[in-house]
Amino acid sequence: MDNVAFSIFGFNIYWYAIMIVTGMILAMGIAAYLIGRKGYKPDTIIDLALFILPLAIVGARLYYVLTTLDRNWTFLEVLNIRSGGLAIYGGVIGGTIGLFIACRIKKFTFTNVLDMADAIIPGLILGQVIGRWGNFFNQEAYGNLVTNPDLQFFPYSVYIDNQGSWFQATFFYESFPNFIGFLLLLFLSYKLNGKFKGLVVCGYFIWYGIVRSIVEGLRSDSLYIGSYRISQVLSVLLVIAGIILAIIILRNKNTDKNKDTDNTKKINNS
């Protein structure tokens, strides 16, 4: 499969890059809409993106390089992201740092930061959905060898040219359920619209963590620490963190409601 979409004056534009950029643009558009519904200026997302996107790319690259140090990277190889090698979790970490820096510069409170994060999350997971199709064009992020001819069909498996065989289409296994997750998180963010701040982020932690932990176990190109798949371990931790934080957010909100009710009763009885 040719992963070059087209060329401009001899400069190749790859399908992978098109998928990544498309995901970024759609993510920004969705975030702008959700931020606007919360009462902020929609173009706030541009100010945030100036820090989030570059640091997400840097984080994605550094994460991949640091988990593949056995390759003896040269400095120029590290800089050459066109050769491939971006890790989603590194991108999320870098983007999160970028969000906090941008919000700090704009003198946002922590509550504002949670508002921004809840608005960004639906677009983030959609970007991940689209980005996985970049893996399809690059013929990477696939799973185990499929030798049964009855199972050699998409979407169960995908033919990898340089291997000359069929492998599990794990990029699709992750992309499809995460598209459902995008719809659910978009609906949740739309309905809450600033209530239960941080809950949409927790929903992402739980949903994406579950999907990734399952799919990662099927991949043939996982990054390891010892005998453990790094992304699988992180995914499980993400689910646990999401559940704990969601419980804290919901309990605090209920506590605040009870306080308001008690205060109302005191006022009415006075």
Q: What is the pLDDT of residue 31?
A: 97
The per-residue b/e assignment along 215-230, b for 16 or more CB within 10 angstroms, e otherwise, is bbebbeebbeeeeebb
| 191 burial via Cβ count (<10 Å: 0-12, 13-18, 19+) | exposed
Q: In the structure encoding, which two tokens stand for residue 10, read together? A: 């001899």
In a domain, 23, yes or no: yes
Q: What is the pLDDT of residue 223?
A: 82
End-to-end CA distance of the chain: 77
In a domain, 3, yes or no: no
Spatial separation of the C-alpha atoms in residues 239 and 245, rounded to whole Å: 10
- The bridge status of strand 11-14 relative to strand 157-160 is unpaired
Spatial separation of the C-alpha atoms in residues 270 and 260, rounded to whole Å: 15
What DSSP character marks residue 192?
H
Spatial separation of the C-alpha atoms in residues 22 and 254, rounded to whole Å: 40
Q: What is the pLDDT of residue 225?
A: 81
Amino acid identity of 191? K
In a domain, 58, yes or no: yes
For the chain, strand residue ranges (E) read 4-8, 11-14, 157-160, 165-168, 224-225, 228-229
In a domain, 29, yes or no: yes
Do the Cβ atoms of 53 and 43 come closer than 8 Å? no
- How many domains, in total, are found in the chain? 1
Spatial separation of the C-alpha atoms in residues 183 and 180, rounded to whole Å: 5
pTM surpassing 0.85? yes
In a domain, 219, yes or no: yes
From first to last of its 270 residues, the chain has per-residue pLDDT tens of 668 888 888 888 889 889 999 999 999 999 999 999 999 999 999 999 999 999 999 999 999 998 888 888 888 888 888 777 889 999 999 999 999 999 999 999 999 999 999 999 999 999 999 999 999 998 999 999 999 999 999 999 999 999 999 999 999 999 999 999 999 999 999 999 889 999 999 999 999 999 999 999 999 888 888 888 999 999 999 999 999 999 999 998 766 554 444 443 333 344
Neighbours of 106 (CB within 10 A): 13
Do the Cβ atoms of 232 and 265 come closer than 8 Å? no
In a domain, 215, yes or no: yes
Range(s) of the domain holding residue 29? 15-269
